[in-house]
């Protein structure tokens, strides 16, 4: 244990995701040794991000205005919604330049042991967005792991009766890998998501 | 030269938590070593050679490198992908989540072998995946039996206080099961005959009887199992409130 404010800093840093006690200590001492101007800039940007950035009232992506840049763009296809877990997934998909619709950010994935059920995600808000019939296709782009699969199938079951087209991002073999290293679950998903090769 | 600290075991992945940029800490209930926590390096990258092998509720054959506080997974092969087989079935998924959490909480000490709990968990997941019985029945059977393994068995056919044989219409959670009229403490819950019969069927593995039980008995039995579990597990189970209502 360190004295007063140093320990406070270590404790605060230790609350951040992926930061264990050892890393918290290392970052704290890095900050102590750093140039005061650098630390002030970090402190400033931490406060600024909480003051200025909010969540888009339509899709819950991070936004500087009432709505995010994607939702505010009239060229984006209103009939398509891509459902993702976190704002960082929007960034990843935007980088591909493949998708011209809008997003819906759930704010996580179903994880009962982690205490996250459907009511803790923005599922009700998604259902409300689908009510007026503008949206005709929903693309489920939750993570290709158990939590993401559970969330996608829960959404498909809830939204299925509304009659729109529901698709799931193909998940399967990673590019750059060898087939022989694929496990049977991944390989099985790759089979069920196979597509026709154009001749 | 000392022993090479590499060991092989098989186990069920109970839980994973992110570590740093691309790693995870994987909590596994193993057959021989008990509950262990191990680092799976790079597992969150889409190109990870672990693929889906270390997802929750996957039964895997493992090779681990023993460390001071955490082990490291060096190899994993799937024996049964239970979790993946029910990821599309919300009712079964949430039931499996409660099983995994209970198995972790009932194995209090790390590295203390608990073959019975391991076998119960594998059996419970296998039954859940087989889709032959309602998920809540499978879960309640698992919970009743794991409570017994943990030393908190529910007394159902004799008075929990005096041991007088009989099926009584009152059940006291603190006393540890049904109670006879003489021993009945104030505040003991009443339990209907069909619910008591279902609890006995679940504990003894009489599936024909359990499958034939009426829904009110199932709801009552589930409520009693949940109350009993919350009494014996400090802070309760986080996954329990997320179970699908039947
Ligand atoms: Zn938006
Ligand atoms: Zn008695």
Long-range contacts of B63-69 (CB under 8 A, 24+ apart): B63/B6, B63/B7, B63/B8, B64/B6, B64/B7, B64/B8, B64/B9, B64/B36, B64/B38, B65/B5, B65/B6, B66/B5, B66/B6, B66/B7, B67/B5, B67/B39
Partner B contacted by A21 (CB < 8 A): no
Q: What is the pLDDT of residues B71-95, one digit of tens each?
A: 999 999 999 999 999 998 999 999 9
Give the closest-approach CA distance of A161 to chain B in angstroms. 17
Helix (H) or strand (E) holding B17: strand B6-19
What's the whole-model pTM score? 0.86
Of B19, B83, B84, the CB nearest to A18: B19
Mean pLDDT of chain B: 93
Q: What sign results for the dihedral spanned by CA atoms B127, B130, B132, B135?
A: positive
| Beta-carbon separation of A185 and B46 below 8 A | no
| Beta-carbon separation of B84 and A144 below 8 A | no
Looking from the CA of B153 toward its CB, the CA atoms found within 13 Å total: 14
Residues contacting B186, CB < 8 A, separation 6+: none
Q: Which chain A positions have a beta carbon within 8 Å of B15's beta carbon? A: 113
| Beta-carbon separation of B81 and A177 below 8 A | no
Q: What is the pLDDT of residues B91-147, one digit of tens each?
A: 999 999 999 999 999 999 999 999 999 999 999 999 999 999 999 999 999 999 999
| The pLDDT value given to residue B1 | 45
The residues facing A137 across adjacent strands are A80, A165
What is the spatial distance between Cα A154 and Cα A117, in angstroms, rounded to a whole number?
A: 11
Residues contacting A77, CB < 8 A, separation 6+: A100, A101, A102
Class of domain A4-52: mainly alpha
Of A117, A176, A177, the CB nearest to B242: A117
Q: How many CB atoms lie within 10 A of CB A25?
A: 18
Phi, psi (5° rounding) for residue A43?
Answer: -60, -40
Chain A, 86 to 115: residues with Cβ < 8 Å from chain B are 110-115
Q: Which chain A positions have a beta carbon within 8 Å of B52's beta carbon? A: 145-146, 183, 185-186
- A125 CA to centre of ligand 1 in angstroms: 12
Q: What is the pLDDT of residues A43-90, one digit of tens each?
A: 999 999 888 889 999 999 999 899 999 999 999 999 999 999 999 999
**DSSP classification of residue B97:** H
Task: Parse chain A into domains and list their residue ranges.
Answer: 4-52, 74-168
What is the spatial distance between Cα B149 and Cα B141, in angstroms, rounded to a whole number?
A: 12
Domains of chain B, each with CATH number or no CATH: 6-83 (2.40.50.140), 132-242 (no CATH)
- Asked if the interface predicted TM-score (ipTM) of this complex is over 0.85, the answer is no
Class of domain A74-168: alpha beta
């Amino acid at each position: 244990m360190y004295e007063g404010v140093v320990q406070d800093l270590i404790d605060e840093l230790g609350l951040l995701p992926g930061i264990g006690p050892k890393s918290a200590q290392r970052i704290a001492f890095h900050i102590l040794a750093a140039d005061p101007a650098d630390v002030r800039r970090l402190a400033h940007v931490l406060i600024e991000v909480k003051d200025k950035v909010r969540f888009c009232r339509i899709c819950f992506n991070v936004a500087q205005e009432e709505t995010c840049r994607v939702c505010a763009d009239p060229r984006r296809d209103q009939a398509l919604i891509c459902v993702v877990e976190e704002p960082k997934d929007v960034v990843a998909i935007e980088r591909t330049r493949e998708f011209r619709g809008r997003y819906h950010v759930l704010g996580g994935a179903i994880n009962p042991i982690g205490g996250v059920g459907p009511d803790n995600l923005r599922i009700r808000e998604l259902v409300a967005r689908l009510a007026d019939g503008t949206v005709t296709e929903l693309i489920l782009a939750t993570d290709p792991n158990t939590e993401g699969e559970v969330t996608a199938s829960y959404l498909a079951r809830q939204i299925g009766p509304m009659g729109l087209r529901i698709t799931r991002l193909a998940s399967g073999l990673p590019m750059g890998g060898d087939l022989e290293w694929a496990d049977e679950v991944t390989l099985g998903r790759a089979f069920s998501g196979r597509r026709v090769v154009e001749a | 030269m000392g022993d090479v600290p590499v060991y092989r075991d098989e186990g069920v992945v109970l839980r994973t938590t992110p570590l740093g940029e691309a790693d995870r800490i994987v909590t596994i209930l193993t057959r021989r070593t008990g509950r262990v926590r191990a680092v799976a390096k790079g597992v969150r990258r889409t190109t990870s050679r672990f693929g889906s092998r270390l997802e929750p509720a996957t039964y895997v054959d493992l090779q681990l490198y023993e460390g001071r506080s955490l082990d490291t997974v060096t190899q994993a092969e799937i024996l049964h992908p239970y979790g993946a087989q029910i990821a599309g079935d919300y009712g079964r998924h949430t039931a499996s989540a409660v099983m995994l959490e209970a198995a972790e909480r009932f194995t209090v000490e790390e590295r203390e072998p608990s073959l019975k709990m391991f076998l119960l968990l594998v059996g419970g997941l296998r039954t859940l995946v087989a889709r032959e019985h309602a998920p809540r029945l499978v879960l309640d059977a698992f919970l009743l039996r794991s409570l017994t393994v943990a030393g908190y068995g529910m007394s159902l056919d004799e008075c929990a206080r005096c041991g007088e044989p009989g099926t009584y219409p009152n059940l006291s959670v603190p006393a540890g099961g049904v109670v006879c009229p003489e021993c009945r403490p104030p505040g003991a819950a009443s339990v209907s005959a069909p619910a008591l019969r279902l609890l006995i069927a679940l504990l003894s593995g009489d599936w024909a009887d359990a499958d034939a039980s009426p829904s009110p008995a199932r709801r009552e039995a589930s409520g009693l199992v949940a109350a009993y579990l919350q009494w014996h597990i400090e802070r309760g189970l986080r996954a329990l409130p997320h179970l699908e209502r039947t």
